[in-house]
Amino acid sequence: MDINSMILLAVVFSFILAFVFSMFGQGGGSVYSPLLILLSFSVLSSTSTSLVLNLITSTSAGYIFYKNKMIDMKASFMFVPGIVVGAFAGGVFSKSVNQHVLLWLFVSFLLILGTRMILTYWQKGNDTDDEPMPHPSTAMYVLIVVFSIAVGVISGLLGVGGGVLIVPFMTYVLKYPTKSAAGSSHLIISFSALAGILGHATSHRLDYPLIAITGIAVLIGGNLGARFSLRVKPKMIKAGLGFIMWALAAQILIKLV
């Protein structure tokens, strides 16, 4: 495949993924990275570009959620310190990790998240308008810090935003309403992605042309997807994306073996 075809496909798929994922509070980073890798971009270029795309998508979509008062600022900033530290560290050390190890991590990550997204089709979320937990206990706050650092490291290493982990954590552990968790995750992902980008920039050169062309695609797709999220319930779409994650994992596995 020539470079022009690679870039064209990257743009088309980036737009589609940004549109769909932003509808339920995620930046699509769990799929951007493996997609770019399968299009024959290098692992480091794919992960760093994915983080930039996550930043653009989450900032764009987050603005829509913010205007509709669907972001809990207090809850979001409990996650920020840990996720920033973890994502920056993950970005810095990404170049030192064996690329085959990273690809195996991608396969595991996609299989686990694909399964979780498929299972959400039958799960009942907390979609009520109940007030979220006013203040976490000390033990819960420690759990939030540990969780956010772990998600940050994964984000920096693999170029994923972490929304697929943050949203269920806020919904099922902290008992936040689903829409509030989806909106808040965009703000958290923005900090995670930015820290990861800075971490990558300290260890290798970013692919600026690829970032620019795909960035425009996700800026438009993420904005449109967030607008649609206010009127649709994308459970079926999430299940479908779970199968897509399985398919991407299978393709990467084929490359590995």
- What percent of the chain lies above the pLDDT cut of 90? 27
Query: Given pLDDT bands bounded at 50, 70 and 90, which one contains residue 225?
Result: confident
Residue range of the domain that includes 55: 3-256
- What's the pLDDT score for residue 79? 94
Q: Of 3-7, 47-51, 152-156, 218-222, which range is least confident? A: 218-222
Distances (CA, A) of 72 to 49, 69, 146, 176, 241: 28, 8, 20, 10, 27
pLDDT exceeds 70 at position 126 = no
Which range is most confident: 54-68, 157-171, 182-196, 219-233? 182-196
Query: Which two tokens mark 238?
Result: 């999430």
Q: Are 51 and 203 in contact (CB under 8 A)?
A: no
Rounded mean pLDDT of the chain? 82
**φ, ψ for residue 204, nearest 5 deg:** -160, 165
pTM here is 0.80
Which residue did the predictor score with more confidence, 77 or 61?
Answer: 77
Dist CA 222 CA 87 (whole Å)? 22
- What's the pLDDT score for residue 232? 52
Structural domains of the chain, count = 1
Query: Given pLDDT bands bounded at 50, 70 and 90, which one contains residue 238?
Result: low
Contacts of 87 (CB under 8 A, 6+ apart): 152, 153, 155, 156, 191, 192, 193, 195, 196, 199
pLDDT exceeds 80 at position 104 = yes
Q: Can you tell me the mean pLDDT for 136-143?
A: 84
